[in-house]
Amino acid sequence: KAGVTQTPRYLIKTRGQQVTLSCSPISGHRSVSWYQQTPGQGLQFLFEYFSETQRNKGNFPGRFSGRQFSNSRSEMNVSTLELGDSALYLCASGTGYLNEQFFGPGTRLTVL
Amino acid sequence: DQQVKQNSPSLSVQEGRISILNCDYTNSMFDYFLWYKKYPAEGPTFLISISSIKDKNEDGRFTVFLNKSAKHLSLHIVPSQPGDSAVYFCAASPANSGYALNFGKGTSLLVTP
């Protein structure tokens, strides 16, 4: 069974630009969550989508948004990029069993 | 506010000995707890989980203990192997929260030969 895939793996943007990251969950998983990992804050929950609906949202500004398609693939978008948005963005998909989540390799975003 | 805390940033253990990684939490609504292992440049890998109705769960060399009254959980790895060297994250979520995990900041484990 293929794992969670994320594209692109690396991205360099400049301040003020916007970016879209993509995630394909494990086949059969209907939940996709996004996390931001930075050295200072660790792993922080961004949002979760289930059957195309946002089910949970973390404490991030409105510049961070996402969506989920009917095939469960998900995208997250960050608008008006700031230097502090430089991070590893991780996507995880869920089995529905006891909150287990399986993570993708992440997208490393660098904002210059 | 950090609701899940891993107070030891690093731990060094000899091969063959027991590794004990600790985690404390503050939110009494947390109902489900997980441990993940992470290598550099990779996403976290799920290791083991436990729900609040249990106090122990085992899977091979890995055992997780939960002490709800102390709001404390620990991961025991026996015996430790050099391949276990990685960063270990503790995570927790309340019941009915969907998949919104709260993570600790991680403990870097080094297993030396």
pLDDT digits (tens, 9 = 90+) for A13-53: 999 999 999 999 999 999 999 999 998 888 999 999 988 99
For range A4-12, the mean pLDDT: 96
Which residue in chain B is spatially nearest to A34 when comparing CA positions? B100
Burial letters A15-48, b for 16+ CB under 10 A, else e:
eeeebebebbbbeebebbbbbbbeeeebbbbbbb
For range B17-46, the mean pLDDT: 93
* Nearest-angstrom CA–CA distance, B113 and A87: 33
Interface residues from chain B to A (CB-CB < 8 Å)? 32, 34, 36, 41-46, 49, 51, 89, 91, 93, 97-106
| pLDDT in the model for residue B2 | 85
A61-71 confidence digits (pLDDT tens): 999 999 999 99
Contact A36, A95 (CB under 8 A): no
pLDDT of A56 strictly over 90: no
Bridge pairing between strands A87-94 and B30-38: unpaired
B37-70 confidence digits (pLDDT tens): 999 878 999 999 999 999 999 999 999 999 999 9
Residue A97 banded pLDDT, cuts 50, 70, 90: low
Please report residues of A whose CB lies closer than 8 A to that of B49: 98-100
Number of H helices, E strands in chain B: 0, 11
| pLDDT in the model for residue A1 | 64
Percent of chain A residues topping a pLDDT of 70? 96
Percent of chain B residues topping a pLDDT of 90? 85
| pLDDT in the model for residue A14 | 97
